[in-house]
A and B are shown apart, each in its own frame.
Chain A
Amino acid sequence: MLRAMLTFIQVLLSGLAIGCVYGLVALSFVLVYKAADTVSFMQGELLMVGAFAVVVLQAAGWPLAAALTGGVAGAALLGAVLERTALRYTLGHSHLSAVLLTFGLGLMLRGGVTAVPAASHGMFVLPLPWADEVFRLGPLSLPGGQLLVMAITALVAAALSLFFRYSRSGLALRACAEDARSAALMGVPVARMHTLAWALGAALAALAGVLLAPITFVHLNMGFIALKAFPAAVLGGLTSLPGALAGGVFLGVVEALAGLVLPEGSKDVVPYLLLLAALLLFPAGFGARRTA
């Protein structure tokens, strides 16, 4: 009985940790969706590029903290540059054009990384502090990597909510998301906010990549996790930041527990069945106030 209880908690924790990563990527989806009114299909690639950037910087001799900051900032810069050079032109056009544009840009990013011989030959470890330690709490063993993921996710969520509540740019960004035209009339530089949203989205994805590194290592296909994170974002309503995070955690936990409790083979379908059900029961997502 105790054994089963322990197993349950352990699996729950793993689910929470992976759910946090889903949540972070989902946050980046939502940020972009709110500001640019489109779904970005290059978040997975940005995640991968960001993680690789940190690995490269660290290999170049930077200390870990500097490499992390540099990698995430680099991803933000990349997001901004892509917005300035390409994504900007989709403003005022349909969902679909921007979706396809991000898809194409994603292919370019992926191709660019693949062309580096070392990247196409293997996977890399990102030595985060405490990631390999295991903390014991009585009979429970808490992996440091999972605790780290949860802690950083909580920090990021707090920072984001402060940013959107109190900072000038954050408020401006929210105004643009609500109603770009009125925001422009109120003197909000809408175009600049558009850039900011993509940069923030890219930075969040890169951060998620760094946190994913202890779990899956850094490699070409690590961005596939976005395929799970996107449903999480929709589950949360696509317009709600807390909703996205909650959706991610929910999906992670359900997935992990389904594998434990339900018969073999159902693990992978359950999240999607759940997604279908959630979409039908809450047509606007868990956390949304307005419908699309």
Chain B
Amino acid sequence: MGVPVKPGRAEAADIAARNDSPAAAGIVRASFCRPLAGPALAALALPLACLLLGTDYALGQATLVATYAIAGLGVVLIVGQAGQIVLGQGALVALGAYAEALLAAVGWPPLLSLPVAVALGACGGAIASLPARRLGGLYFGMSTLAFALVVEEVLTRWSGLTQGAAGMLVPAFGGGGWRAQTPLAQFLVSLVALALAWMACRRLLRSRLGRAWRAIREDEAAAAACGIDLARTKSAAFILGGGVSAFGGAFYAHWIGFISPEQFGLMLSFELLMLVFLGGVGRLSGALWGALVIVAVPQLIAVARDALPGEGVGSAGLETALFGAVIVALVLWRLRGEKRRGGSLR
């Protein structure tokens, strides 16, 4: 449980799950049948999108939504569960993407290269979390930003390995003669990957470690008093969150087919942060909903624009502005919802 998906109900359960009180568990149990609602909704939405947008287009979107959701899950672990601010998650995604791209290029099958990518992301997370021993809150977030900028710079400068700013091509996903080249195959692969990452995260959330994260998020002093090793627990969040995001990054590299350091800059980090906030930081499904907004909304705006009468002139900034407006509206809507219930969203 703890993964309610229907938006209206979910926030209540979100707050409840955070409290981990018996009453809260009751609410979650009441929405026991809800976990199916989200996937069912998604399952309905997809054919509809296919009909409206075209199969490949819809599948392409779904693939990227799933991939971004995986990367977002890592942020959920760090931000939503352990309560740490991370402004440099893009670098962890980059580590996964580059590891996978380099290994796939020399012919490693995914079963071997993916674990390496995840491990590299986890190492990156461990390094990024080092300042947590001394810094807290926004300052720590800032140090992750600095970490990300340094990683980006290293990827640019180490051109012998990464081909630097010129970027490198990534072969299609697959091994042993099979390649995921059709949109359908890519979608199915990313779906399986999302399911794997999701199940792993769910196990984590229910584990002792997950409870320790939430304890730290609520009150560090109290958590420490309960015998939780703050530094180690925070590091664990970064290691695991980094691994999950790197896992997403590995697939990103394959689906995009070309990676360069600039793709994993500040913009991606903010996108990921925004993604989990929009979807709801406290729960795993937040990553999925958020990915849907971040990836699909600009596309929907583009489709809606085509339906409008008149030439496309002047639409240059219009789409950006509309996307901004959607984000503003979503944030305000969430804030209003919180206010009504008197809860506070971290």
A binds B: yes
Show the binding face of A for B, using Cβ within 8 Å.
39, 41, 86, 89-90, 92-97, 99-101, 103-117, 120, 227, 230-231, 234, 238, 265, 268-269, 272-273, 275-276, 279-280, 283-285, 291-292
Contacts of B136 in A (CB 8 A): 283, 291-292
Q: Determine if A113 and B146 form an interchain contact, defined as CB atoms under 8 angstroms apart.
A: no
Contacts of B320 in A (CB 8 A): 107-108, 110-111, 114
Contacts of A285 in B (CB 8 A): 139
Question: What are 9 A-B contacts defined by CB distance under 8 Å?
Answer: A39-B138, A101-B328, A104-B328, A110-B317, A111-B320, A275-B142, A283-B136, A283-B139, A291-B136
Q: Determine if A279 and B323 form an interchain contact, defined as CB atoms under 8 angstroms apart.
A: no
Interface residues of B in 105-154 (CB under 8 A from A): 131, 134-139, 142-143, 145-147, 149-150, 153-154
Contacts of A41 in B (CB 8 A): 270
Contacts of A89 in B (CB 8 A): 332, 335-336, 339
A273 to chain B, nearest CB (A): 6
User: 1/0 per position for B89-110, CB-CB distance to A under 8 A?
Assistant: 0000000000000000000000
Q: Determine if A272 and B274 form an interchain contact, defined as CB atoms under 8 angstroms apart.
A: no
Contact A90 B335, CB 8 Å, known A234-B139, A269-B153, A283-B134 = yes
B281 at the interface (CB under 8 A from A): yes
Q: Determine if B335 and A103 form an interchain contact, defined as CB atoms under 8 angstroms apart.
A: no
Q: Determine if A97 and B335 form an interchain contact, defined as CB atoms under 8 angstroms apart.
A: yes
A95 and B323 alpha carbons, distance in the complex (Å): 21
A22 to chain B, nearest CB (A): 15
Which residue of chain A lies nearest to B142 when distances are taken between CB atoms in the complex?
A234
A269 and B338 alpha carbons, distance in the complex (Å): 41
Closest 3 CB pairs of A and B: A111-B321, A114-B317, A107-B324
A103 and B269 alpha carbons, distance in the complex (Å): 13
Contacts of A93 in B (CB 8 A): 335, 338, 344-345
A97 and B346 alpha carbons, distance in the complex (Å): 8
Contact of A96 among B139, B277, B325 (CB under 8 A): B277
User: 1/0 per position for B331-343, CB-CB distance to A under 8 A?
Assistant: 1101110110000
B345 to chain A, nearest CB (A): 6
A108 and B328 alpha carbons, distance in the complex (Å): 9
Contacts of B134 in A (CB 8 A): 279-280, 283
Q: Name the residue in A39, A104, A114, A227 with the highest tally of chain B Cβ atoms < 10 Å from its Cβ.
A: A104
A145 to chain B, nearest CB (A): 28
A112 and B323 alpha carbons, distance in the complex (Å): 11
Q: Determine if B317 and A94 form an interchain contact, defined as CB atoms under 8 angstroms apart.
A: no
Contact A279 B324, CB 8 Å, known A89-B335, A111-B319, A112-B317 = no
Q: Determine if A95 and B317 form an interchain contact, defined as CB atoms under 8 angstroms apart.
A: no
Contacts of B322 in A (CB 8 A): 111
Q: Determine if A231 and B316 form an interchain contact, defined as CB atoms under 8 angstroms apart.
A: no
A118 and B146 alpha carbons, distance in the complex (Å): 36
Q: Determine if B278 and A100 form an interchain contact, defined as CB atoms under 8 angstroms apart.
A: yes
B327 at the interface (CB under 8 A from A): yes
A54 to chain B, nearest CB (A): 20
A116 to chain B, nearest CB (A): 8
Q: Determine if A279 and B139 form an interchain contact, defined as CB atoms under 8 angstroms apart.
A: yes
Contacts of A108 in B (CB 8 A): 320-321, 324-325, 328
A116 and B137 alpha carbons, distance in the complex (Å): 39
Contact A96 B281, CB 8 Å, known A279-B139, A292-B138, A292-B139 = yes
Q: Name the residue in A41, A90, A269 with the highest tally of chain B Cβ atoms < 10 Å from its Cβ.
A: A269
B71 at the interface (CB under 8 A from A): no
Extra pairs beyond A97-B345, A108-B321 (8, CB < 8 Å)? A90-B335, A96-B79, A105-B324, A107-B321, A114-B317, A117-B314, A234-B142, A238-B139
B266 at the interface (CB under 8 A from A): yes
Contact A279 B344, CB 8 Å, known A103-B327, A112-B321, A292-B137 = no
A284 and B334 alpha carbons, distance in the complex (Å): 32
B273 at the interface (CB under 8 A from A): yes
Contact of A273 among B150, B318, B331 (CB under 8 A): B150
B64 at the interface (CB under 8 A from A): no
Which residue of chain A lies nearest to B143 when distances are taken between CB atoms in the complex?
A279
Which residue of chain B lies nearest to A279 when distances are taken between CB atoms in the complex?
B143
Contacts of A116 in B (CB 8 A): 317
A229 to chain B, nearest CB (A): 13
Which residue of chain B lies nearest to A41 when distances are taken between CB atoms in the complex?
B270
Contacts of A227 in B (CB 8 A): 266
Contacts of B325 in A (CB 8 A): 104, 108
Which residue of chain A lies nearest to B334 when distances are taken between CB atoms in the complex?
A97
Contact of A279 among B146, B317, B321 (CB under 8 A): B146
Contacts of B328 in A (CB 8 A): 86, 101, 104-105, 108
A273 and B270 alpha carbons, distance in the complex (Å): 21
B206 at the interface (CB under 8 A from A): no
B304 to chain A, nearest CB (A): 15
A70 and B7 alpha carbons, distance in the complex (Å): 45
A117 and B344 alpha carbons, distance in the complex (Å): 43
B62 at the interface (CB under 8 A from A): no
A104 and B322 alpha carbons, distance in the complex (Å): 9
Which residue of chain A lies nearest to B278 when distances are taken between CB atoms in the complex?
A100
